């Protein structure tokens, strides 16, 4: 079977096994991710650098990570969150938002994460964890890929070419496998692990746009004396900020758009296609 056609599916155990083995051997996997697609690889520095260059990004751009749901909390150093921010509430919020669909959190990174997967923000060494939601079949692929590669997390990035390459203000993520094949025809070891039914995948997440995830940070609450703590949305993407607020409010947490998230991410348009 030609790996460069979208004929391997994220809900097929044999296809998942093939893609996991390919990833462990160094391949780039475009995987069905909630209601759109993401690129996933091994998390070593050389592979992250190669994918950055393939996308047209700066080679040393810091990467995000993904993992199966039960491993996500272990990617963060909870001892470094602000004392006035209760850990239990943040974990509950994390469970609720990942339970609803694709989402991302930025928080203090555990020391074992390497420098190419962390960013220093306000003196805090942080990592971004992006996940498709607990109900997405891609979690089986992540578990198998981590086992094959002997790692606890994977490198993840949006399935698109970088705006550094195209010159566009923004390059939305792909929600069609055929678009990934067109944009990444120059990647010889690309494996596509597709949604079996892309329209059904989008319909399964009615509250989420098929674009890069909304990202909430919890390492630097805004408002020195505000109570409850105010968590900033660093990227306004798939899930609307109002839905994030509704999830946070029962936990005694507030959510506010940061200046960098003032404009919500666009959804990619294809000729003759409607979301």
- Per-residue model confidence as pLDDT tens digits over 83-141: 888 999 999 999 999 999 999 999 999 999 999 999 999 899 999 999 999 999 999 99
Domain count, the chain: 1
For residue 61, pLDDT beyond 90: yes
- Grade residue 5 by pLDDT with cuts at 50, 70 and 90: low
- Grade residue 2 by pLDDT with cuts at 50, 70 and 90: very low
Q: Is residue 210 part of a domain?
A: yes
- Per-residue model confidence as pLDDT tens digits over 205-259: 999 999 999 999 999 876 654 567 899 999 999 999 999 999 999 999 999 999 9
Least confident stretch, 12-26, 168-182, 252-266: 168-182
Q: Is residue 16 part of a domain?
A: yes
Q: Is residue 270 part of a domain?
A: no
130 close to 25: Cβ distance less than 8 angstroms: no
Q: Is residue 154 part of a domain?
A: yes
CATH of the domain at 222: 3.90.870.10
Q: Is residue 68 part of a domain?
A: yes
Of all residues in the chain, what percent carry a pLDDT higher than 90?
A: 85
Q: Is residue 177 part of a domain?
A: yes
Q: Is residue 274 part of a domain?
A: no
Supply the pLDDT for residue 1: 35
Q: Is residue 267 part of a domain?
A: no
- Per-residue model confidence as pLDDT tens digits over 173-196: 999 999 999 999 999 999 999 999
The boundaries of the domain holding residue 13 are 8-261
Least confident stretch, 45-49, 82-86, 259-263: 82-86
pTM for this one?
0.93
């Amino acid at each position: 079977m030609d790996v460069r056609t979208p004929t391997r599916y994220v809900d097929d155990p044999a296809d998942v096994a093939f893609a996991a083995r390919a990833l462990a051997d160094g391949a780039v996997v475009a995987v069905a991710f909630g209601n759109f697609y993401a690129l996933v690889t091994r998390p070593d520095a050389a592979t992250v650098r190669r994918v950055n260059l393939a996308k047209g990004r700066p080679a040393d751009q810091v990467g995000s990570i993904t993992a199966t749901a039960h491993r996500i909390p272990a990617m963060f150093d909870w001892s470094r969150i602000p004392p006035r921010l209760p850990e239990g509430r943040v974990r509950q919020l994390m469970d609720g938002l990942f339970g609803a669909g694709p989402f991302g959190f930025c928080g203090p990174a555990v020391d074992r994460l390497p420098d190419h997967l962390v960013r220093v923000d306000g003196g805090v060494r942080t990592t971004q964890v992006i996940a498709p939601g607990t109900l997405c079949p891609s979690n089986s692929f992540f578990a198998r890929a981590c086992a094959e590669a002997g790692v606890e997390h994977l490198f993840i990035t949006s399935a698109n070419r970088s705006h550094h390459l195209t010159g566009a203000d923004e390059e939305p993520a792909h929600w069609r496998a055929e678009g990934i094949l067109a944009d990444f025809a120059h990647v010889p070891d690309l494996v596509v692990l597709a949604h079996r039914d892309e329209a059904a995948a989008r319909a399964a997440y009615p509250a989420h746009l098929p674009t890069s995830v909304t990202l909430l940070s919890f390492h630097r609450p805004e408002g020195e004396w505000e109570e409850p703590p105010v968590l900033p949305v660093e990227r306004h993407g798939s899930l609307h900020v109002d839905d994030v607020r509704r999830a946070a409010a029962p936990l005694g947490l507030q959510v506010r758009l940061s200046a960098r998230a003032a404009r919500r991410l666009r959804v990619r348009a294809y000729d003759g296609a409607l979301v």
